Amino acid sequence: MEIDIENMDAGYGTTKILQGIDLHLEGPGLTCIIGPNGVGKSTLIKCMNKLLTPTAGTVKVNGRDVKEMTRKEIAEIISYVPVQSDDVFAMPVFDTVLIGRANKGGWRTSSTDIIRVKKALEVLDLTEYADRPFNELSAGQHQTVAIARGLVQETEILILDEPTSNLDIRHQIFVTSLMHEIAVSRGIMVIMISHNLNIASMFADNVVLMEKPGRIKQVGPANDVITAENILEVYNVNCEVIQHQGRPVILLDQVLN
């Protein structure tokens, strides 16, 4: 599995968000994309599965230009968990997750579909909510259900847009570490946007640090990317970075004006 982005520009209408993006991601593992608000992290992942068409450059998935691929072909390789899910006509949690299996078979739900959904709910501690309407859950639970829906698609690449933004600290750790474990044990590539640098540092195999205006500052292991200099330069935040269990940990100091 491989995502290869070359000299890519992207934006919305006439507003340019990303410029000159070069990024190569390969093999199983967890990649965390970090960077300040508005830097283009969501824009970047939306270009990976053709939710957004770049204005320049190329995006290749497993060696094929996504421009040449149909949505169905991309969906067979990449699953995507958006930052928010619609819930106008809410289904029970079980059925909401089951939608993720829609591309796996015909009109009828198979026994395999049912078992995979049951497992996904169990993995994410959602079993007791299986019959609850989706719109009666908290924002954090919405996100976890959306992650379960992403998991049951069983693709080789899973992209998550801020999957932990509404979760408490314990569940942020749980979800991020679970994504790492699944990536490693299942042999898939998981790409997620994160704002919690310490948690990203704990579990990411690879960190992509983005900076304004819409550029990639550095890509690599957490120890190389999450440094006091980079944090100051990209976030405008003074901090001290110490080592804990072989990983960098940020101790915040003060925000610069």
Contacts with another protein by CB under 8 A lie at 46, 49-51, 70-76, 78-82, 84-86, 88-92, 94-96, 99-100, 102-103, 107, 109, 111-112, 114-116, 118-120, 122-129, 133, 135-136, 140-141, 144, 146, 149, 151, 153, 167, 170-171, 173-174, 177-178, 181-182, 185-186
64 Cβ contact partners less than 8 Å away, ≥ 6 residues apart: none
Indicate the residue among 7 and 70 with the shorter CB distance to another protein.
70
Nearer of residues 49 and 196 to another protein, judged by Cβ: 49
**Helix runs in the chain, H state only:** 41-48, 71-77, 93-98, 111-123, 139-151, 169-186, 197-203, 222-225, 228-235
Shortest Å, Cβ 22 to another protein: 24
- Nearest approach in angstroms of CB 234 to another protein is 26
End-to-end CA distance of the chain: 42
Whether 8 contacts 21, CB under 8 Å: yes
CB of 168 to another protein, least distance (A): 9
**With respect to another protein, which residue has the nearer C-beta, 135 or 227?**
135
